[in-house]
Amino acid sequence: MAEQTASETPKTGHEVIQGYLRLLDGSPGVYRMLDPQARVLYVGKAKNLKARVSSYSRPTGHTRRIERMISETASMMFLTTSTETEALLLEQNLIKQLKPRYNVLLRDDKSFPYIFISSEHDFPRLEKHRGAKNRKGRYYGPFASAGAVNRTLNTLQKVFLLRTCSDREVAAGDRPCLNYHMKRCAGPCGGKITPEDYAKLVKQADDFLRGKSTEVQERLAKDMAAASEALEFERAANLRDRIKALTMVQTNQGINPRTVNEADIIALHMEKGQACVQVFFIRAGQNWGNKDFYPRVGADVDAAEVLEAFVGQFYDSKDPARQLILSQGIEDPDLMAEALGTKIDRKVEILVPQRGEKAELVDAALRNARESLARKMSEAATQAKLLKGLADAFDLPKVPERIEVYDNSHIQGAYAVGAMIVAGAEGWMKNHYRKFNIKGEELTPGDDFGMMKEVLTRRLSRLKKDDPDREKGLWPDLLLIDGGAGQVSAVHEIMIELDVTDVPMIGVAKGIDRDLGKEEFHRMGKTVKALHHNDPVLYFIQRLRDEAHRFAIGTHRAKRAKSISASPLDDIAGVGASRKRALLAHFGSAKAVSRANLADLKAVEGVSAALAKKVFDHFHEKG
């Protein structure tokens, strides 16, 4: 092959794709289409790789989106698999990793919270859980949001009186917690209930979370009647309140399934090149909340492709329900059901109902999707106007697509942190927020200028390293700094030093008397600017600054709390979380550990003689 000169343009298009056909056979697999810079344009799966790639080699019969993709394709990569099911699973995994430009892409893919009841404790507590399911016990969920799980936990505490206090308080058993006095806990922390009676409450909670709410309610009603007959009116009133709380859970769920026990209701609405997918989680015959998603789509992508991509990516890291009830069909529901079932080792059914309760549930989810997308589009239109207004007000070279806002927080220089929030055309970009622990030891405590210089030095240096050609969309179009002329001058020095002179930067100062609405805007080489007190752009900038301040304060408080709760035991190599707990449980405090003699340290369960010597030496060599 002749060496390509700098003046030659890499070949792209149908001919390039056609050249790969002789290398392929009819195996299933995954293909990647790459541009001249080897960036992934598209990831796809195929039952027959040769047939699928052959379809791209034809010059006609494609949508405009596919035509553009083909015209940009300079090379391809292939991975063969044993089955089409493997290809589908691999495709969705690669899409999530690589985020190709021409794929439908699920952008918000956080984990969902669960309710957890431990099986390792005599007095299990109700807990909110998010993440890997490593602990022994029962997990109930998913719930659509932290709010949904918190509301359910709050009610379950009232109904089943399960504890929320710590294991340490229960182990002490010397006095009941406040929840006991509020009739929201059975009082294991004060020795008010036996493990056997507490286990009955746990069984009732398990039954309710498994969908046996009617049986639980009937049992409580019988107990209430018995207490009333026995003239135990206080106990009867308590049971009445618990039944009332249980009824509230069942009547305030919006969508109340009658015959559907476990399903995810997934409805898609598309309009003007945008899409909203609404997911309702039905578990144990109850609605455990809903959440909307806005996958990245193109104007000429059909609904079946969007929904199939969503289902594949959504369940790449989550367990599906036994039934997925969809608002419309996908290209190959049997293949998707097989792939999801293979992943979790049980049958998954995909349905598109036409009538009956399942169709009613889909209609309700579809209505939510339609209304959510309308609100999103309205907010996006408003955001676009504000961004244009910002560009006009400050003579920016273009309407900003990414704004980074910086703020610092500290107490007289202690626990100093810097914070960066990001906003764009679709609002807050919370996945891009960053926090900076101020490291500069030479800084004078409270040196706001020095802190801001450190934060921007680290941020801009990282940008130059990670995206030197500015092709990944990581660079801001505007920097907003919380501060006046001094902060602006300090940041300007850093930008000159790092040769970043083409990113506009504005300092936002409180203005006269530090009054809200009298903000002054500082820019290098320009006069101080103010905006009219009722200008929407002013309100927009205030919201940006306030969000940065909120994030900075939260980060600072978390750092301070962590520092306050730190223990001298954290500095001893070999003392992990479990041994730290054992030492604290045995001696009561870190100070008592530091005063313990070697023989007492050796007596702690789980602490070896060598580790006891290390702990003893740590505290006694210092003095």
Query: Stretch 455-484: mean pLDDT, rounded?
Result: 90
What's the pLDDT band for 401 if we cut at 50, 70, 90? very high
What's the pLDDT band for 359 if we cut at 50, 70, 90? very high
Percent of the chain scoring above 90 in pLDDT:
40
Q: Same structural domain for residues 487 and 542?
A: yes
Q: Same structural domain for residues 235 and 357?
A: no
577 exposure class (CB count in 10 Å sphere: 0-12, 13-18, 19+): exposed
What's the pLDDT band for 575 if we cut at 50, 70, 90? confident
Q: Same structural domain for residues 435 and 529?
A: yes
Q: Is the distance from CB of 152 to CB of 249 less than 8 angstroms?
A: yes
Query: Stretch 233-245: mean pLDDT, rounded?
Result: 70
- Is the per-residue pLDDT at 321 higher than 60? yes
Average pLDDT over the chain, rounded to an integer: 84
Amino acid at 123: F
- The structure's pTM equals 0.74
Residue reference for tokens 């109340």 = 256
256 within domain boundaries = no
Domain count, the chain: 5
- In angstroms, rounded to a whole number, what is the distance separating the alpha carbons of residues 117 and 205? 9
Q: Same structural domain for residues 312 and 423?
A: no
Tell which wins on pLDDT, 559 or 549: 549
- Is the per-residue pLDDT at 328 higher than 90? yes
The CATH number of residue 76's host domain is 3.40.1440.10
Tell which wins on pLDDT, 132 or 537: 537
Per-residue model confidence (pLDDT) at position 75: 94
Report the DSSP beta bridge partners of residue 282.
263, 287
Give the CA distances from residue 341 to residues 113, 307, 318, 407, in Å, rounded to whole numbers and listed in that order. 22, 18, 12, 48
What's the pLDDT band for 240 if we cut at 50, 70, 90? confident
Residue reference for tokens 């492709």 = 305
Per-residue model confidence (pLDDT) at position 7: 42
300 within domain boundaries = yes
Per-residue model confidence (pLDDT) at position 358: 93
Which residues make Cβ contacts (< 8 Å) with residue 571, sequence separation at least 6? 618
Listed as own residue / partner, the contacts of 71-75 with beta carbons closer than 8 Å and 24 or more positions apart are: 71/12, 71/13, 72/12, 72/35, 72/41, 73/12, 73/13, 73/16, 73/17, 73/33, 73/34, 73/35, 73/41, 74/10, 74/11, 74/12, 74/16, 74/34, 74/35, 74/36, 75/16, 75/34, 75/38
Q: Same structural domain for residues 150 and 236?
A: yes
Per-residue model confidence (pLDDT) at position 4: 38
- Is the per-residue pLDDT at 162 higher than 90? no
Q: Same structural domain for residues 125 and 244?
A: yes
Q: Same structural domain for residues 472 and 434?
A: yes
Domain range enclosing 348: 263-375
Per-residue model confidence (pLDDT) at position 9: 57
- In angstroms, rounded to a whole number, what is the distance separating the alpha carbons of residues 125 and 165? 8
Q: Same structural domain for residues 247 and 268?
A: no
Q: Same structural domain for residues 283 and 196?
A: no
237 within domain boundaries = yes
Which residues make Cβ contacts (< 8 Å) with residue 377, sequence separation at least 6? 271, 272, 274
What's the pLDDT band for 488 if we cut at 50, 70, 90? very high
Per-residue model confidence (pLDDT) at position 267: 96
Q: Same structural domain for residues 545 and 410?
A: yes
Per-residue model confidence (pLDDT) at position 6: 38
Q: Is the distance from CB of 49 to CB of 31 less than 8 angstroms?
A: yes
Residue reference for tokens 């589908």 = 88
- In angstroms, rounded to a whole number, what is the distance separating the alpha carbons of residues 106 and 318? 14
Residue at a domain's end among 37, 64, 98: 98
Tell which wins on pLDDT, 515 or 169: 169
Digit-coded pLDDT (tens) for 92-106 = 999 988 999 899 998
Residue 199: strand, helix, or coil:
helix
Q: Same structural domain for residues 601 and 509?
A: no
The CATH number of residue 354's host domain is 3.30.420
Per-residue model confidence (pLDDT) at position 442: 67
Digit-coded pLDDT (tens) for 583-609 = 877 777 777 788 888 888 888 888 888
